[in-house]
C-alpha cells in the first residue's frame, strides 16, 4: 500500500488512489488536514517519547547521544514522560494556548530543515520531530485503511531555503527521508510540490496545455511550467514536459510575520525610544515572531537576551511596552502573536478592516488593521513571490496557456492580483487550494509503486 504524503509547513495530509481517483484520508477528528504542530512537556520529551512510546530507535550514534542526553535531562528536571504527553495538530495548539509557559511547542518544523549551520545534534533532533509527526499520521492512516502502508511519495518544495542551494535541499530531503524510513515506510520517493499539483490539475484537461503552476504554501512559494494534458498523462518519465522551476522559502508564514511586525509589534515597543531618544533595536521585535528562523528564535529566547530586554525596559521612555515584550519572552508567545496576524490576514481577504484583540496578563488592548495596511505590510514577500514567476518565465521563454494557483496562501486576492498584473490576459484557475498537492502525489505514486 502506498500514499501521497504532503508534509506541509501549515498542514499535513495524505491520500490514496481509490477507483483511479485520489482520496484524502482523515487524520484528526475526521479532518483531512492536520496542522503541522507538536506539543510536549519539554524539548527533551520529544526524543524520549518517540523511543519509549512509539517504539522508534535512533538512526545513528548521534541520535543515540541525543536520546541519552534528553533522558538524562528529563530525569535531572524530575520530568516523567508518560503516554499521551506528545500531542499533534489542533490538540497540540490547544495545549499550547492553554498554558504556553509550561510546554514545548513547535509549529512548521519543515521551515527549519534546510537551515544553514545546523549541528549534527540539531539535525538529529529535527529528524525526531518529523519522525514523531509522521508516525502519528501513518498510524492514523493505517487505522483508517485497515492496511499497512509501506511506500510513500513525499512532496518537497523546489528550494527549502532562499539560500544554501543544493546543500540545503539535500540536508532537508535527507531529514525527511530518514524520518520517513524510521516511521516505517520501506520505500520513499519525492516529487516537487508544484509538479504534483500540476498532475492533479492535468486530470481535468481534455486538451494539451502549457500551464504555470504557482504553489503558495505556508512556508515556500514554488513555480513549475509544465506541458500537460492527455498526451502526457500516462508517461512515467515527465522530465521532457517540465520546462522550468523556481522556488524560495517565502510563503504564508512570511506574510503573517511581516503583518505582525508592522501592525502588532508597535504594541510591544517597536518604534518607541529610550529616555535619551534612541530607537529601540529592530531585532528585539523581529526575532520573537520569526518563527521560521532557528537562529532568530534561539537568540531571542536566550538567557543573555533576557538581561538585554530588562536593560531596555529600564532605559525605555515607555517601559510598559517593553514589559509586554518581556512577557512574550517568559511565556514563549511569539506563536500567539503570529496566530493573531494570520487571523487578521484571512479576515482582510474579504473585509476592509479587522480588529485584533490581545490579552497579556491583565493588559487588554486592540489593534485595528485595514486591508491597505495589510497590502503595505506584505509588500516585500509579495515582490519575492512575483520574482519567482518572472524567473520561471525567463527560464523557459514560453508563455503559458493558463496559470494554476494552489496552496492555502494562493487564496489571497492581493497575490492573485499581483500575478494577474505580471501575466495579463492569461486565465487563472484554481482547484483545491489545500488538497491539490496531496492528490497529485498519490497520482505520482502510481508511477513509482503502482
Select 2-185's CATH number: 1.10.8.60, 1.10.390.10, 1.10.10.10, 3.30.420.40.
Answer: 3.30.420.40
Q: Are 252 and 217 in contact (CB under 8 A)?
A: yes
Query: Residue 155 is placed in which grid cell?
Result: 512532496
- Quote the cell numbers at residue 150: 509501506
> Do 138 and 121 meet the contact criterion of CB atoms below 8 Å apart?
no
Looking at residue 337, its pLDDT comes to 96
Alpha carbon separation from 412 to 32, 255, 393 (Å, rounded): 22, 10, 22
Q: How far is CA 385 from CA 199, 230, 239, 332, 438, in A?
A: 22, 30, 24, 30, 22
151 phi/psi in degrees, rounded to 5: -135, 150
Report the pLDDT value the prediction gives residue 162, as an integer from 0 to 100: 60
CB 198, CB 404: distance < 8 Å? yes
- Say what the alpha-carbon torsion angle 102, 106, 107, 113 is, to the nearest 10 degrees: 160
Specify the DSSP element, H or E, that contains 225: strand 221-228
The whole-angstrom separation of Cα 145 and Cα 133 is 18
Write down the pLDDT at residue 101.
82
Q: Could you give the CA distance from residue 337 to residue 342 in angstroms, rounded to a whole number?
A: 9
- The residue assigned the cell 525527511 is 176
Every domain range in the chain assigned CATH 3.30.420.40:
2-185, 206-430
Contacts of residue 433, defined as CB under 8 A and 6 or more positions apart, other chains included, come to 406, 407, 408, 410, 411
State residue 350's pLDDT score. 92
Where are any strands of DSSP class E within 166-220? 187-192, 209-216
| pLDDT one digit per residue (tens) for the chain, 450 residues | 999 999 999 999 999 999 999 999 999 999 999 999 999 999 999 999 999 999 999 999 999 999 999 999 999 999 999 999 999 999 999 999 888 888 999 998 999 999 988 999 999 999 999 999 999 999 999 999 999 999 999 999 999 976 668 999 999 999 999 999 999 999 999 999 999 999 999 999 999 999 999 999 999 999 999 999 999 998 889 999 999 999 999 999 999 999 999 999 999 999 999 999 999 999 999 999 999 888 899 999 999 999 999 999 999 999 999 999 999 999 999 999 999 999 999 999 999 999 999 987 778 899 999 999 999 999 999 999 999 999 999 999 999 999 999 999 999 999 999 999 999 999 999 989 999 999 999 999 999 997
Q: Which cell numbers in the block locate residue 147?
A: 492496511
Q: What CA dihedral angle connects 335, 340, 345 and 346, to 10 degrees?
A: 100
Cell numbers found for residue 124: 538529529
Residues 265, 338 contacting (CB under 8 angstroms): no
pLDDT at 26: 98
The one-character DSSP state at 101 is: G
Check residue 422 and give its pLDDT.
96
| Residue 320 neighbours by CB distance under 10 Å | 11
Distance between CA 381 and CA 254 in Å, rounded? 7
Q: What CA–CA distance (Å, rounded) separates 416 from 190?
A: 28
Backbone angles phi, psi at 111, to 5 degrees: -65, -25
State how far the Cα of 440 lies from the Cα of 156, in Å rounded to an integer.
12
Angle at 407 between CA 261 and CA 15, to 5 degrees: 135
Nearest-angstrom CA–CA distance, 287 and 107? 15
Q: pLDDT at position 362, please? A: 77
**Cα(200)–Cα(218) distance, rounded to whole angstroms?**
20
The grid cell for 327 is 512577557
220's grid cell: 515556500
Class of domain 206-430: alpha beta
Amino acid at each position: 500500500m502506498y500514499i501521497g504524503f504532503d508534509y506541509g509547513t501549515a498542514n499535513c495530509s495524505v491520500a490514496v488512489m481509490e477507483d483511479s481517483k485520489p482520496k484524502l484520508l482523515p487524520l484528526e477528528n475526521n479532518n483531512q488536514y492536520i496542522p503541522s504542530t507538536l506539543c510536549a512537556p519539554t524539548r527533551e520529551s520529544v526524543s524520549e517519547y518517540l523511543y519509549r512510546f512509539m517504539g522508534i530507535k535512533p538512526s545513528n550514534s548521534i541520535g543515540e547521544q541525543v536520546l541519552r542526553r534528553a533522558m538524562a535531562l528529563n530525569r535531572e528536571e524530575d520530568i516523567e514522560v508518560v503516554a499521551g504527553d506528545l500531542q499533534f495538530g489542533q490538540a497540540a495548539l490547544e495545549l499550547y494556548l492553554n498554558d504556553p509557559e509550561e510546554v514545548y511547542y513547535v509549529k512548521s518544523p519543515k521551515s527549519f530543515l534546510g537551515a544553514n549551520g545546523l549541528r549534527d545534534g540539531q539535525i538529529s533532533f529535527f529528524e525526531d520531530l518529523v519522525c514523531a509527526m509522521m508516525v502519528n499520521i501513518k498510524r492514523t492512516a493505517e487505522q483508517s485503511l485497515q492496511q499497512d502502508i509501506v511506500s510513500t511519495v513525499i512532496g518537497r518544495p523546489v528550494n527549502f531555503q532562499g539560500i544554501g542551494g543544493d546543500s540545503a535541499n539535500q540536508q532537508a530531503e535527507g531529514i525527511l527521508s530518514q524520518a520517513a524510513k524510521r516511521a516505517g515506510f520501506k520505500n520513499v520517493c519525492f516529487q516537487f510540490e508544484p509538479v504534483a499539483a500540476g498532475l492533479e490539475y492535468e486530470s481535468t484537461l481534455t486538451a494539451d496545455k502549457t500551464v504555470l503552476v504557482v504553489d503558495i504554501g505556508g512556508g515556500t512559494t514554488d513555480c513549475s511550467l509544465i506541458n500537460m494534458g492527455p498526451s502526457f498523462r500516462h508517461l512515467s518519465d515527465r522530465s521532457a514536459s517540465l520546462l522550468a522551476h523556481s522556488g524560495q522559502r517565502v510563503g504564508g508564514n512570511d506574510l503573517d510575520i511581516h503583518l505582525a511586525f508592522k501592525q502588532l509589534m508597535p504594541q510591544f515597543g517597536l518604534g518607541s525610544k529610550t529616555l535619551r531618544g534612541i530607537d529601540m533595536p529592530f531585532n528585539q521585535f523581529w526575532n520573537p515572531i520569526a518563527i521560521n528562523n532557528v537562529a532568530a528564535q534561539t537568540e531571542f529566547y536566550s538567557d543573555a537576551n533576557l538581561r538585554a530586554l530588562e536593560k531596555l525596559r529600564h532605559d525605555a521612555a515607555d517601559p510598559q511596552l517593553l514589559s509586554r515584550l518581556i512577557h512574550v519572552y517568559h511565556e514563549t508567545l511569539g506563536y500567539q502573536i503570529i496566530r493573531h496576524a494570520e487571523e487578521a490576514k484571512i479576515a482582510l481577504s474579504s473585509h476592509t478592516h479587522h480588529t485584533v484583540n490581545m490579552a497579556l496578563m491583565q493588559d487588554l488592548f486592540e489593534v485595528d488593521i485595514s486591508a491597505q495596511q495589510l497590502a503595505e505590510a506584505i509588500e516585500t514577500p509579495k515582490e519575492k513571490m512575483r520574482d519567482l514567476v518572472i524567473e520561471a518565465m525567463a527560464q523557459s521563454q514560453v508563455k503559458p496557456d493558463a496559470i494554476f494557483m494552489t496552496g492555502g496562501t494562493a487564496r489571497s486576492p492581493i497575490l492573485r492580483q499581483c500575478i494577474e498584473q505580471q501575466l495579463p490576459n492569461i486565465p487563472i484557475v484554481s482547484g483545491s487550494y489545500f488538497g491539490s498537492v496531496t492528490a497529485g502525489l498519490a497520482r505520482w505514486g502510481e508511477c513509482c509503486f503502482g
